[in-house]
Amino acid sequence: MSMQWNDVDGGMDPVSSADFMPRQQLKSLQMQRMRAVVRHAYEHVSVFRGRMDAAGVKPDDIRSLDDVRRLPFTHKTDLRDHYPFGLFAVPMPEIVRLHASSGTTGKPIVVAYTAEDIRVWSEVMARSFAACGLSRRDVVQNAYGYGLFTGGLGAHYGAEAIGATVIPISGGNTERQLTVLKDFGVTAICCTPSYFLHLWESAQAQGLKRGELKLKVGVFGAEPWTEDMRARIQREAGIRAHDIYGLSEIIGPGVACECHCQCGPHIFEDHFYPEIIDPKSGEPLPDGAEGELVLTTLSKRAMPMIRYRTHDITSLSDDTCNCGRSLRRIRRIARRSDDMLIIRGVNLYPSQIETALLRVRGTAPHYQIEIGRENDLDTLAVRVEIDPAALGDQLADLEDLRDEVSRSIEGVTGLRAQIHLAEPNSIERSQGKAKRVIDRRRLS
């Protein structure tokens, strides 16, 4: 789907008709692309062919979108098992770019793009930025990491495609980030929400005032963050914070992005076919039900993905959005099916700790969860930085704060945690995805 350009107050803003396509038309486009991608994968990737043959399903059997459920799932382990190039569906000369994602264990996974895949990626990123209200009049500081990580180059091409001025600063070097933010008249920033928080605190420590900046929009993703975190960022930095979602295996950033209504990222369904399944049984779930997001790429050539299990837990919503986009939305992804910790038999997701902490005045949202084992029992400790500005200087205040944090965590999670109040800036900052959990049970 090509981009069209709308003349808006003298500038040209990109609008894609696919964002507003009637559902019926969208479904027939999906069907047409689904058939093509399934055939392409079957004919060119032995793993897909083998799986489909074993399941007794051929490309011609996919006659309706419901038939997609007959196709076998693809897992992250498939990418690891066929490292580095085993899932590529085109010959190497057609591949113009490789990216890789480190993951948590062992070898990285490698993903590939043809020139047309890069065009599609730029298009969905351009549509993401347009949905956030950005245009050629914006100056975009791109602080996602450039390199093998998809964040940097993905956002870069999309911001260029809308005609914005891009500053390819990459992650890290906070001092320089702040200089650029101020001196280059930056209006939009792209980075992980945790890194933005760090930048903002550093800006305040330097006495930088909101009025000195032109910043109005943040395009934040690559890690889970909560609605409370958004509220805090928007309140303190006076910007609109948008949620952008994506994963390397599917394309990188730009699988889904929020519009100005900020009510969950719209999935670019003309390129990515979403399903929600029960993570245990693999059975499909209806719109509105919470489960694991499964994605099929509808136009990827170099490395198509058929029913890829993302492990990201969300739900799909087809409620009409005020922006008029017909694309369905996913609910903010706060957790993954594989980041659930079991502490003394109780299920715990790291995002629950964030929710609990943000409810307490006097703490900063920089935290780490430490899990250990003593005498065969799990231990849970939460290290959280204090926010001196919100506290008095009495020792008793710290005791009260510790109790309040403990109660808040118990209220949200049902677990008692040992609370360590830490000095401001003492928890290591990440330039990219924050490391929230240290599980010493797995280390030993």
Would you tell me which residues interact with ligand DLL (CB under 6 A)?
101, 144, 150-151, 221-224, 243-248, 252-253, 310, 312, 333, 336
In a 3-state reduction of DSSP, which class is residue 96? Answer: strand
CB of 150 to ligand DLL, least distance (A): 5
Residue showing the smallest CB distance to ligand DLL in the complex: 221
Where would I find the beta strands (DSSP E) of 102-216? 109-114, 139-142, 165-167, 188-191
Report the residue number, 199 or 247, with the smaller CB distance to ligand DLL.
Answer: 247
Report the residue number, 201 or 292, with the smaller CB distance to ligand DLL.
Answer: 292
CB of 257 to ligand DLL, least distance (A): 9
Report the residue number, 123 or 243, with the smaller CB distance to ligand DLL.
Answer: 243
CB atoms within 10 A of CB 153: 25
Spell out the long-range contacts of 349-353 with Cβ–Cβ below 8 A and sequence spacing 24 or more.
350/224, 350/436, 350/437, 351/224, 351/226, 352/412, 352/413, 353/382, 353/409, 353/412, 353/413, 353/436
Nearest CA to 330 among 433, 280, 258? 258
Report the residue number, 14 or 171, with the smaller CB distance to ligand DLL.
Answer: 171
CB of 154 to ligand DLL, least distance (A): 6
346-384 burial: b if 16+ Cβ within 10 Å, else e? eebbbbbbbbbbbbbebbbbbbbbbbbeeeeebbbebbb
CB of 46 to ligand DLL, least distance (A): 24
CB of 210 to ligand DLL, least distance (A): 25
For 136, the token pair is: 């050629």
Report the residue number, 99 or 366, with the smaller CB distance to ligand DLL.
Answer: 99
Report the residue number, 151 or 350, with the smaller CB distance to ligand DLL.
Answer: 151
For residue 165, which amino acid is it? T
Kindly give the interhelix angle for 350-358 and 395-413, rounded to the nearest 10 degrees.
130
CB of 53 to ligand DLL, least distance (A): 29
